Amino acid sequence: MTKHTTPDHARLDRVVAEARKQRELREAGYRERALKLFPWICGRCGREFSGARLRELTVHHKDHNHDNNPPDGSNWELLCLYCHDN
C-alpha cells in the first residue's frame, strides 16, 4: 500500500512562477534579437507586422529546442500567432 502525501501547493506555485519568469526572460532575449535580424513578416502566411500588432509576431524554433538560440538566428523563423499555433 502506498502512502499518499498532500502536495505543498505553495511550493509548487513558487516553482511554476519561477519557471515562467525564466522562460519569459529567455524568450524576451531571443525575440528581441530575432526582430532585429529578420523582416517583420510571418514566414508562413506572409503577413506584415508593425506598431502595436508586432506583438502578434512570434519566434518559432525550427528544431523545437527553445534553448538552441544561435547568434545568427539560424534556428528561428518569425511566425504570426495563428501560423505558430498551427
Q: What pLDDT sits at residue 1?
A: 55
Helix (H) or strand (E) segment spanning residue 21: helix 9-37
Give the mean pLDDT of the chain.
89
65 pLDDT more than 70: yes
Confidence bin at 22 (pLDDT 50/70/90): confident
pTM for this model (two decimals):
0.67
- Give percent of the chain with pLDDT exceeding 90: 59
Cell of 63: 528544431
Q: How far is Cα 55 from Cα 27, in angstroms, rounded to an integer? A: 13
pLDDT, tens only, 2-17: 666 777 889 989 998 9
Q: What pLDDT sits at residue 9?
A: 86
Q: How far is CA 8 from the centre of its chain?
A: 28
